[in-house]
Chains A and B, each alone.
Chain A
């Protein structure tokens, strides 16, 4: 009796150790296939459409183009798209630089310096991270026009830090906390000033966080739409996301060009995220929120 119970237990144990049963394995692979199709079909279709002729898109309904047709891209790049891309690149880079500097020094103050009120500041920063832009674009429209920045890229440089800065500061705060304070104390004892410590010790140790924060600020600014739509309404100040919406009505058969424009607008963010994927996922899940 006893022997058979033990035998059963061992047997059961062995069976379990083999992992999930065949049914679960099949279900897992089926799910992967479905998720891949769901995720990738819009990308594939967008890219394929962007290199098809109008005849292939509208008349023949071919899946693959006979040959790669670059005209949609060429037309866009010789047209206004170049200006839009330049504007987006400019605004996103400057916003990123500003947020990095202001976010790092602010985060350092809150995490490493001792002064009254820093707890309140830390809480306020979380709060600002959660305020959606849909609540702010109307009053900001007033602010932007009252300082005379309507329809300029300056308006976006002014406003974009409102969504990049809270995340930057928050993210740098949680990273700084993970750096042993002893390293900084050693530098202080060696005669380094507080700012010297930040520059020579803390920031060099925070390069992974800086990379994530820079990437996040850049792509979020690049992808932003609502503020750009509301604050910039001139050809010269249009960013690429708003530019795309202006392409409608240029031509009855616009989907080829639209998809080419969409591919170009998506490229920087997609490339950056793919290149730094590991860092980003860690940054998003650990820095942004921690369960």
Chain B
């Protein structure tokens, strides 16, 4: 809980000689801290970059969302019309996108959690070649999202191995056309996202598991706890904070991810896999309506805000 600045100010104050007369220089130093000039200078490049290319665009996006603005033209202020259209006009597919985003994120997070936890539990055992296994299972995370999407798209393609297998053994009368069926397309999407995202979870869970004190396990063994009981009553509670942080982080990234959807389904068939970020892309860039696209992306902000506030508090508490 010891926060950065509490430590900082306390030590600074303690080091300051308590002079009867304090010159103005001393006073400003006390007010700003002894390294103010150098500190801000060193921070300047990062702050300029993040201020102009992250903070400013974010607020710019809020303003943009109240405008009717075409790419290459100046915008006109239209108040809440972009939002009203998104919510009220079914042709814009906003509610489908919202529903899909919830299904997609929910299923993907559940999958990553279940597989990540099991994988970490397995890799936490003393099995021969554990480091090699860990390295191999980490691989999908290193792949560019585009590459994992194409690797899977070929596997699921009508000329790919799954349909080749079906044809060779005549398992079905017809091919499984994954990207023509709404349910199969969503299933395929979730599979790919789970495949490429799980290693991040595994590695976090595994690191947390390895930090659990061995003595706890030994004590539990003496008390007669079996493998499952040890997991349930020692491992799980110990790694729970990591489970929570990983889940929140991954929820943000999964919901924002549109690369794999773009490559695998493009939102189809018939909008069955379009998500809110993909909708905002399609409206803003190919559709050239920057204002409406910004409004769509802004509608994700309330959900992000909750997650970001919770997360940044937790991440800072680690200090």
Which residues of A pack against B, CB within 8 Å?
12-13, 16-17, 20-21, 24, 28-29, 31-32, 35-36, 38-43, 45-46, 49, 57-58, 61, 101-103, 105-106, 108-110, 113-116, 118-119, 121-128, 130-143, 158-159, 161-162, 165-166, 169, 177, 194, 219, 222-223, 225-226, 229-230, 240-242, 244-245, 255, 258-259, 262, 265-266, 269-270, 272-274, 277, 281-282, 284-286, 289-291
Whether A162 pairs with B54 at a CB distance below 8 angstroms is: yes
A249 to B281 Cα, complex, angstroms: 22
Whether A291 pairs with B297 at a CB distance below 8 angstroms is: no
Whether A165 pairs with B49 at a CB distance below 8 angstroms is: yes
Whether B208 pairs with A289 at a CB distance below 8 angstroms is: no
22 contacts across the A-B interface (CB closer than 8 A): A36-B136, A42-B140, A106-B45, A115-B40, A138-B61, A139-B60, A140-B53, A141-B284, A141-B285, A225-B144, A240-B144, A241-B147, A255-B157, A262-B147, A262-B150, A269-B142, A270-B143, A273-B142, A277-B134, A290-B318, A291-B211, A291-B318
CB distance from B194 to the nearest CB of A (A): 10
Does B270 sit at the interface, judged by CB under 8 A? no
Contact of B143 among A110, A194, A242, A269 (CB under 8 A): A269
Residue of B nearest to A106 (CB): B46
Q: Which residues of B contact A12 (CB under 8 A)?
A: 224
Q: Which residues of B contact A28 (CB under 8 A)?
A: 122, 125, 127
Which residues of B253-311 are within 8 A (CB) of A?
253, 255-259, 262-263, 277, 280-281, 284-285, 290, 293-294, 297-298, 300-301, 304, 307-308, 311
Whether A138 pairs with B284 at a CB distance below 8 angstroms is: yes
Whether B33 pairs with A115 at a CB distance below 8 angstroms is: yes
Whether A139 pairs with B61 at a CB distance below 8 angstroms is: yes
Q: How many A-B residue pairs have CB under 8 A?
A: 318
Given A36-B137, A134-B277, output 20 extra A-B contacts at Cβ < 8 Å: A32-B122, A38-B115, A39-B139, A45-B151, A45-B161, A108-B42, A113-B42, A114-B35, A115-B34, A126-B312, A131-B54, A132-B304, A136-B61, A137-B281, A225-B145, A229-B262, A255-B154, A270-B139, A285-B203, A289-B204
Whether B144 pairs with A269 at a CB distance below 8 angstroms is: yes
CB distance from B17 to the nearest CB of A (A): 15
Q: Which residues of B contact A116 (CB under 8 A)?
A: 31-33, 36
With contact pairs A31-B122, A135-B301 given, residues A273 and B138 touching in the complex (Cβ less than 8 Å): yes
Give the contact stretch, choosing among B90-98, B171-179, B182-190, B241-249: B241-249
Contact of A42 among B151, B157, B221 (CB under 8 A): B151
A29 to B128 Cα, complex, angstroms: 10
Residue of B nearest to A169 (CB): B46
Does B21 sit at the interface, judged by CB under 8 A? no
**Shortest 8 CB-CB distances between A and B: which pairs?**
A132-B256, A115-B33, A119-B5, A113-B35, A139-B57, A223-B144, A134-B277, A285-B207
Whether A121 pairs with B58 at a CB distance below 8 angstroms is: no
A42 to B42 Cα, complex, angstroms: 45
Q: Which residues of B contact A39 (CB under 8 A)?
A: 136-137, 139-140, 195
- B147, B157, B164, B246 — which one has the most chain A CB atoms within 10 A of its CB? B147
Q: Which residues of B contact A223 (CB under 8 A)?
A: 143-146
Q: Which residues of A contact B53 (CB under 8 A)?
A: 140, 143, 158-159, 161-162
Whether A46 pairs with B154 at a CB distance below 8 angstroms is: yes
